Amino acid sequence: MNQRDEHGLPPGVIDNDGHYEVDPAIMTVYPQFATDFEVDRIVKGRLEYLYWVQRHFAERVLPPHAEEPDEPRRAG
Amino acid sequence: MSGTVTREAVSELVDVCGAQRVVVAPQGRLIRAMVPAPFPFHRWADEAPDVVVLPETTEEVVAIVKLANRLRIPIVPRAGATGLNDGAKPMRGGIVVDTKRMNKVLEIDTTDWTVTIQPSINMLKLNELLTPHGVWYPDDPASYPVSIVSGRVGTGGWSLLGSRYGHVRDNVISMEFVLPTGEVIEVGQGGGRKIRHSSTGYRLKDLFLGHQGTLGIVTECTLELYPRPEAEFPAFFGYESFEDGYRAVQPFCRSNLATLAGVILFDERKVEYLRRDDEAYIPEPESLRSIVAVAAYGSEGEVAAARDRLMQIGADTGGRYLGEELSELDWASRHDRYATPLHGRSRGRAVHMSWHCEDAAITYSQLPFVKRRWHEIADRYIAEHDVFDNWGMFFYTNNAYKGWGDFLVEIDIGVWEQRFDERSWQAWTELKREIAQVSLAAGGSISACHGATREGEVDLIPVELKDGQFDLMLKLKRLLDPNNIMNPGKYLLDRAYEEAERAGGAPGNPEGVPR
C-alpha cells in the first residue's frame, strides 16, 4: 500500500499532465457483451420511460397518414 | 465559515427554519456551488456558499432575507439548479436559499383555469397532479423531468413547445415575490391574481421573470392552464444539404397551422454527432446532411389536418420522411440531455464530457452567417485545447404562439470539465465571448433561453443593452436591493453600487458594514 515510484505515485497510477489516472496497461479489457435478455430489458426500459414522459403531453401520437376507420389506436 | 456569515447568523437561521433545514456540512454546501453550466472545478472550494437554508413558507423566506439584508450577507436563491447559466451559483459565498421544499399545490381552479402553487414544484410532477382534471401546464424545457417552476421564473424560461403554447413569461399569470429588503409584493398583469391582461399601471411581472436571482425570491405563482392535448404529431424530414434544410424551414414556419409547436433545423455537424454518439441515435442514410423536425399538438381533428399539411410541405421541399419510429422516438428524446452521460472525442479518444450549449436569438436571415462563424470559432479552440468537442448546431423557432420570426440558435459543445485548469477555463470564457460577439454582429441577442450572466459573455451585456437599457437595469437593481445582497456579482450589476461609492458614499449602506 505504501509503495511509491520515483515520482511518488502508488503502483498503477500515472500522472497525465497533472491529472492522475489509472494506468491503462494494468486494466483488463473485457469484450462488451449483453445477453438478449439484457438488451431487451434495456431497450424496453428506455421505450417505457419515453412513453411515460410523452403521455404527460398528449393522449396519443398520430401516425403519418390517416388511419382506416377500423384500425386500432396505437397509444393512449 | 468565511465572510459575514457568523455563528450568530447561523443560529438565527436555525431559529427561523430549525436545525434540520440549515446546512453547514461541506458536502451540502459544495454541491450547491454548482450548476450544469461548465464549472471551474479547480476553483470549487472558492465557489461554495457558507450556509444553505431550506425554507418551507413565505414567512421563513422573509425572515431569512431580512436577516441577510440586516447583516449585509450575500444571498442566492436556488431552485432545481438545472440551468445552463450560473444564476443559482454563488459568487461571494453567503447564504444559498434552496427553495425545493416549497413545492405544494395551493389551488387547482377548474372554473377560471388556473393553478396556484408554491413555485418549487417540478413540471412533470405538476402535470401528473393536473391530469385528472383534464388540464395541463405546457412549459417544456429540455430539463422538463428535473427543473422546477421557480427556476423557470428566475431564468424567464424558454419552452420547446413555445410556438404553440408560449414561454414561461406568457404562462405565469401572477407571482408573490419577496424583495431583497424583505417586503412581500404581488405582481401580475395589473391587479388580480388570475387576470390575464390588464391595462392598469406598469407591467411589473416581466421585471421579475429572468432576473437570475438578482431581484428577490418568488414564493407563490399562479399559472395558466390549458386543455390537455388529445394528440401530437412529430415528423422528421431529411435533406441532402444544410442549404436545402434551411430553405425548407420557412414553408413549415409559415404553414398557418395554429397547432404547430416548433420547427427545428439540425445542421451537418449535429447529424454527424447524432450518428456517432447521441442517445437519440437511429441509423440514418449517409446522404442525409440536415434534418428538419416539426411537431403539432392540439385536438385530434386539428392535429390530423396539420399532419396532412406538414407531410405535404415535407414532400414539396424535397424532404425525405424519416419514418414513424424515428420521428416519434427522437422527438420523445428531447429531454435526454439531462438524463444520460455523453461521449466526446479528444485527440481520437472517447472521453466523458459534459453537454453544454451556447445559445442566442437570431433572425432567420442571419442563420447561415452565425452557423459558419460559430463553427469556425469552436473548431479553432478545439484545435488548441483538448477539453472541447463540437457536437453541432440546431435552430429552433423562438417566437411565442407563432412559428415565424427569429430562432433560438444553439451550438452544443462537449466540455471535459474534470480537465479544466485556469488556462483552459480562460479559453472557455474567451470562446463564449467570441460566440456572443458574433450574435451581436448579426443583430441578435446573446441568449434566447439560458441567460447571459456567465464569465465571457456577461461583459457584452452593456453592448447589447445599449442606449440606456443597461443604465436603467442598474438603477432598478439599486432601488430594489439597496445593499446589493441578492446574488451579488451577477449581470455586472455591482456597477450600480461602485458608481454610487465613487460619487461619495453608499446611501444603501449607511453603517458602512463590509460587504
Cα distance from B428 to chain A (closest Cα, Å)? 19
Would you say residue B443 has pLDDT above 90? yes
At residue B86 the predicted structure's pLDDT band, cuts being 50, 70 and 90, is confident
More confident residue, B110 or B506: B110
**Which of B26-30, B331-335, B505-509 is the most confident on average?**
B26-30
Query: Which cell numbers hold the place of B239?
Result: 435533406
Mutating which of B279, B324, B325 best tests the A interface, going by the most A Cβ atoms within 10 A? B324
Given this model, what pLDDT does residue A46 score? 82
Cα distance from A46 to chain B (closest Cα, Å)? 10
Would you say residue B189 has pLDDT above 80? yes
Which residue matches cell numbers 456569515?
B5
Given this model, what pLDDT does residue B320 score? 95
Would you say residue A74 has pLDDT above 60? no
Residue B312 identity (one-letter amino acid): Q
Q: Tens digit of pLDDT for each residue in B482-502?
A: 999 999 999 999 999 997 777
Cα distance from B413 to chain A (closest Cα, Å)? 22
Contact B117, B149 (CB under 8 A): yes
Would you say residue B465 has pLDDT above 80? yes
Q: Tens digit of pLDDT for each residue in A49-69?
A: 888 888 889 989 999 998 776
Which residue matches cell numbers 456579482?
B489
Minimum Cα–Cα distance from B419: chain A residue = A19
Query: Which cell numbers hold the place of B112?
Result: 377560471
Cα gap B179→B213, rounded to integer Å: 10
Neighbours of B66 (CB within 10 A): 16
Mean pLDDT, residues B403-413: 95
CB contact under 8 A, B127 and A19: no
Residues facing residue B345 across a β-bridge:
B350
Which residues in A lie closer than 8 A to residue B419 (C-beta atoms)? 19
Given this model, what pLDDT does residue B97 score? 98
Cα gap B169→B222, rounded to integer Å: 12
Given this model, what pLDDT does residue B511 score? 43
Give helix B324-332 / helix A36-54 axis angle, nearest 10°.
70
Which residues in A lie closer than 8 A to residue B418 (C-beta atoms)? 19
Would you say residue B341 has pLDDT above 90? no
Phi, psi of B173 (to 5 degrees): -80, -45
Given this model, what pLDDT does residue B355 score? 83
Given this model, what pLDDT does residue B51 score? 97
Mean pLDDT, residues B379-384: 95
CB contact under 8 A, A60 and B307: no
More confident residue, B358 or B275: B358
Which of B51, B150, B66, B54 has the alpha carbon at shortest distance from B98?
B54
3-state secondary structure A23-65: CHHHCCCCCCCCCHHHHHHHHHHHHHHHHHHHCCCCCEECCCC
Would you say residue B512 has pLDDT above 60? no
- The secondary structure element, H or E, covering residue B168 is helix B168-171
Q: Tens digit of pLDDT for each residue in B54-78?
A: 999 999 999 999 999 999 999 999 9
Among B26-30, B34-38, B253-257, B369-373, whose mean pLDDT is lowest?
Answer: B34-38
Would you say residue B510 has pLDDT above 80? no
Contact B416, B387 (CB under 8 A): yes
At residue B6 the predicted structure's pLDDT band, cuts being 50, 70 and 90, is very high
Given this model, what pLDDT does residue B513 score? 41
Would you say residue B349 has pLDDT above 80? no
Mutating which of A19, A53, A62 best tests the B interface, going by the most B Cβ atoms within 10 A? A62
Mean pLDDT, residues B227-241: 96
Touching check for B136 and chain A: CB below 8 Å? yes
At residue A71 the predicted structure's pLDDT band, cuts being 50, 70 and 90, is low
Touching check for B297 and chain A: CB below 8 Å? yes
Would you say residue B2 has pLDDT above 60? no
Cα gap B218→B10, rounded to integer Å: 23
Q: Tens digit of pLDDT for each residue in B123-157?
A: 999 999 999 999 999 999 999 989 999 999 999 99
Vertex B193 angle, CA B190 and B199, to 5°: 20
Neighbours of B441 (CB within 10 A): 12
Given this model, what pLDDT does residue B123 score? 95
Residues facing residue B358 across a β-bridge:
B411
Vertex B124 angle, CA B152 and B274, to 5°: 85
At residue A1 the predicted structure's pLDDT band, cuts being 50, 70 and 90, is low
Residue B51 identity (one-letter amino acid): V
Q: Tens digit of pLDDT for each residue in B310-325?
A: 999 999 999 999 999 8
Domains of chain B and any CATH numbers:
7-98 (3.30.43.10), 105-227 (3.30.465.10), 231-338 (3.30.70.3450), 342-463 (3.30.70.2740), 467-502 (no CATH)
Given this model, what pLDDT does residue B338 score? 65
Given this model, what pLDDT does residue B277 score? 64
Mean pLDDT, residues B412-417: 90
Which residues in A lie closer than 8 A to residue B303 (C-beta atoms)? 62
Percent of chain A past pLDDT 90, that is, above it, reads: 9
Given this model, what pLDDT does residue B1 score? 37
More confident residue, A22 or B235: B235
What mean pLDDT, rounded, does chain B reach?
92
Cα gap B305→B309, rounded to integer Å: 7
Given this model, what pLDDT does residue B278 score? 58
At residue A33 the predicted structure's pLDDT band, cuts being 50, 70 and 90, is confident
Mean pLDDT, residues A4-31: 80
Given this model, what pLDDT does residue B41 score? 81
Nearest CB neighbour to A58, from listed B229, B304, B335: B229
